[in-house]
Amino acid sequence: MKSTTLLLALSAVLSSPAVASPPRKRDNDSSPRVLKAHVQRQAIADPIAADAKRLRRRDGTVNATMDNSEILYFVNGTLGTPPQPVRMHLDTGSSDLWVNTGVSELCQSRGSPCAESGTYNANSSSSYQYVGSYFNISYVDGSGASGDYVTDTMSLFGQQVKTVQFGVGYQSTSPQAVLGIGYMANEASVARLQMSQYQNLPARMVSEGIISSKAYSLWLNDIDAQDGTILFGGIDKGRFQEPLVSVPIQKVGKQFAEFYITMTGLSIGNTATADKIALAVLLDSGSSFTYLPSDITNSIYKTLNAKFEQRSGVAYVPCSLRNQDATFKFRFSDPAEVDVPLRELVIDPAQLPQGRAVNFGDGVPACYLGILPSDNSISVLGDTFLRSAYVVYDLDNNKISLAKTRFNATTSDIQAIGKGNDAVPKAIVAKNPVAATSGLPSRSDGSGTSDGNGGALVAPSMTLSVLALALSVLVGF
């Protein structure tokens, strides 16, 4: 796999917890400033099963480069003084930063499962401050982590951020540290205990004067690229095709808590698979695949002659579809739309860790299709969609700005996101935004208030798993 946009050699990135270019000052001020670093890709054996275990607590400019992990994205950083390296799963679908402690039963188990992600030792940091023993974050399959909330100094993309609050997992069933960068209303302590919101990383960056507003942009590059870019407090004009269109984030209950926007249509070439809809879809970098209602996926499968295996929850298509010049057009409030090439949705299981080639009964090589049924749950635009989009998350103004991506872009034109209602450079506003009429989750336990201090939202589990059999023997339909 290769990328023409590497800012540093990949080997250097992998060996360093935080690699950054020198900060660039804004023309009119020394702060906020623009920083660049890589966010890397690391392969996982079963992205569909990983999605099933995803956290679902729902009913100036800093630039980091991300790695594409087939199909998760990770950011390197450090915590504490002296710095302790951590590798964090970047997640727009949650709002807490948390990391395991090395003395947990999980991290002490055979195979050192936490070694790659890194751990945090509070006693080894002179800048550590205890907050409380009420950190508790849950996944739909019952896994998660619990322990302490603490504050400490964080170094991210070469930029030091002081007094960052995060969870330390003393009891955990997940080896991966997570960097949640969503709304503060979706923090675990708000959801479970109805506590007041705390300043998570984007908010701390604003408080520290590193960026001007709680906003960031995401560029994942194509399916073969090893890295992408996240810009906190800025956009990169070289990474997208205009227009960049701003659409409103949809409230859940009475508050903004997650990145739901309204999808109005979907077509494959000239064939409409969904038209004149007003479906709430969640933009979630923590989900490897895209999940849509079954009536839409059934239409997609019919058009592509895909085979959906009910037992495993996997859709298969001939791997040769990667060579076809077909495009999925996702439509939102006019004129926002994103084109996703079919090749970006066809995933070879043999390329996954421990994966093996899969064939149809007639011997034709079979690949995963990166769009699956949402199983009567929420609809999610995950990484199989996001790689083809340039997305700006404006938490201050409750807007998402969308544009078609520029794959493997070689030019860069970074501009800071300022303050105010029209803070995102080059963005135009959808003239007649469509409100979602379906797809929004209900509030959990009826908690939550209009000021955003209530509980987080809970969505039903998308219990999808890949049968090991499907990876080792022929698939017959």
- Annotated active-site positions, please? 91, 284
SS3 state of residue 100:
strand
Angle at 270 between CA 265 and CA 275, to 5 degrees: 20
**69 CB contacts (<8 Å, ≥6 apart)?**
40, 41, 42, 43, 44
d(CA 384, CA 223): 8
Torsion of CA 447, 375, 71, 335, to 10 degrees: -80
DSSP 254-281: TB--S-EEEEEEEEETTEEEE-S--EEE
d(CA 92, CA 39): 14
**Structure token pair of residue 165:** 């609050």
CA 41, distance to chain mean position in Å, is 12
Q: How many CB atoms lie within 10 A of CB 190?
A: 26
Rounded to 5, what percent of the chain is helix, strand, coil?
A: 15, 40, 45
**203 CB contacts (<8 Å, ≥6 apart)?**
184, 214
For 91-124, letters b (16+ CB in 10 Å) and e give bbbbbbbbbbbbebebbeeeeebbeebbbbebee
**Sole residue written with tokens 């070694």:** 115
d(CA 75, CA 157): 9
**30 CB contacts (<8 Å, ≥6 apart)?**
none
Residues 392/217, Cβ–Cβ less than 8 Å: yes
Q: Give the helix/strand (H/E) hosting 296.
A: helix 294-304
d(CA 122, CA 151): 10
**Sole residue written with tokens 């105010």:** 420
For 249-273, letters b (16+ CB in 10 Å) and e give bbbbbebbbbbbbbbbbbbbeeeeb
